[in-house]
Amino acid sequence: MKLGILKTDAVKPDWAEVYGEYPDMFVRLLGQLDPGLEFRVYDVEEGEYPADIDEVDAYLITGSKSSVYEDKPWIKRLMDFVRELDARRKKLVGICFGHQLVAQALGGRTEKSPKGWGVGLHTHHFQHKPEWHDGGDADLAILVSHQDQVVQNALGAQVLAGSEFCENAVVQVGDHILTFQGHPEFVPDYSREIMNFRRELIGEPAYEVGMASLARPHEGERVGRWILDFLKR
């Protein structure tokens, strides 16, 4: 299987030396779970797209510091591409910004949340377990970093998991689109870097809770297995 990663942001250069760019994080996570997986990276923020939509089998949209409601040409073009993928029933996974952009592109809405920043390790509870779910614990512990939230889902979307802080945390559209508000590709040290960098912006109460939460184990690999199962169905 060939997975096209739609890159929507660049990692700070000093962080990239340690953790890689966002596509590198997904290659590391998914590649170790399926060594036969092939990857193609398209820097859509810089206008890179496949010459043929079928040159890969599925797509994944990364996280970004941008907001999906910003008036940026590259975001509008990416929304058009998402609509084309949806129309073609092409497999698509959205992560954080990608999760929010899918909703925005397909009839939903994303806004800056009055609840403030979600950082560190959050627990999202599954109300429904789809076929790709492992059937285990209904609670998912996943690293998050976001202030924007989906407040209205894409047309025809099913909300699978959420929390009091983030109601629309895992969402599926048909059998071809799956999106997560959380970051399975993150590791705790990278979450720590982001929280330290944004400490003043996040606010001290959320910062302290977020930092303390990193002592608990996260389930990024579990989500990675779900993503692979979903893509192969």
Pairing of strands 58-61, 118-126: unpaired
Active site residue 124: no
Active site residue 166: no
What span, in angstroms and rounded, lies between the C-alpha atoms of 196 and 194? 5
CA distances to 12, 104, 106, 170 from 151, in Å? 29, 10, 13, 13
Active site residue 185: yes
Catalytic residue, chosen from 183, 193, 218, 219, is 183
**Which two tokens mark 137?**
């614990």
What span, in angstroms and rounded, lies between the C-alpha atoms of 211 and 209? 6
Burial of 84 (C-beta count, 10 Å sphere; 0-12/13-18/19+): exposed
**Is 200 strand, coil or helix?**
helix
Catalytic residue, chosen from 122, 124, 166, 185, is 185
**Which two tokens mark 77?**
């073009």
User: What stretches of the chain show up as alpha helix (H) in DSSP?
Assistant: 13-19, 22-33, 73-87, 97-105, 188-197, 199-202, 204-213, 220-232
Catalytic residue, chosen from 45, 96, 99, 133, is 96
Indicate which residues carry an active-site annotation. 96, 183, 185
